Amino acid sequence: MRPTAFLDRDGTINVKAPEGDYVKSWDEFVFLPGAERAVRLLADAGWRVVVVTNQRGVALERMTIAEVDEIHRRMREAVPIDAVYVCPHERDACDCRKPGTGLFRQAMRDDPAIDPASSVVIGDAESDMLAGEAFGARAIRVGPPPLPSLLDAATRLVSSAG
């Protein structure tokens, strides 16, 4: 069975915009140090890599879903990501916004081989940890030291599986 790594985007894969702002275009998207290597490491080790991201800026009309899709298209050209799931809604408007599990359930509908018990959710926010727990997956919080980076987490996952 192929394990799945569900990765948050902003603050996990790329530099998060300042509070109250959003990454609105590819020009504003900057990979965090080691993030590209981390995604490749997971993919090369046989992990399914799925990005699950809240993008409230769409609901606030700071950017369009087409602009978000373009960021994801370019991101997927740069690193091997199997799928991207986006919640474009306002807070409390849906069940797909993390810490809800709607994005994870959508991924399972699209790929029934995804098993929560063999999955990990990696993110920088408490909402990522709560979503992972509610989904039944292991959750790993990343961020600036003393927290591990995405590369640290990926390296540990790959070495513990081998």
The set of residues, in sequence order, having a beta carbon less than 8 Å from that of 156 and lying 6+ positions away, is: 148
Domain boundaries, the chain: 4-161
Confidence of residue 1 (pLDDT cuts 50, 70, 90): confident
Q: Which residues are catalytic?
A: 8, 10
Q: What is the pLDDT of residues 82-115, one digit of tens each?
A: 999 999 999 999 999 999 999 999 999 999 999 9
Helix (H) or strand (E) holding 7: strand 4-7
Residue 80: its pLDDT value, please?
Answer: 98
Mean pLDDT score across all residues of the chain: 96
φ, ψ at 127 (rounded to 5°):
-60, -30
Q: What is the pLDDT of residues 134-162, one digit of tens each?
A: 999 999 999 999 999 999 999 999 998 65
Confidence of residue 46 (pLDDT cuts 50, 70, 90): very high
Q: Report the topology of domain 4-161.
A: Rossmann fold (3.40.50)
Q: 65 with 22: CB under 8 angstroms? A: no
pTM score, whole prediction: 0.96
Tokens representing residue 38 in the block: 């981390």
Residue 160: its pLDDT value, please?
Answer: 87
Tokens representing residue 142 in the block: 């990343």
Alpha-carbon 78 to chain mean position:
15
Average pLDDT (30-46) is 98
Residue 156: its pLDDT value, please?
Answer: 97
Tokens representing residue 24 in the block: 């609105």
Average pLDDT (1-5) is 93
Beta bridge partners of 139: 121
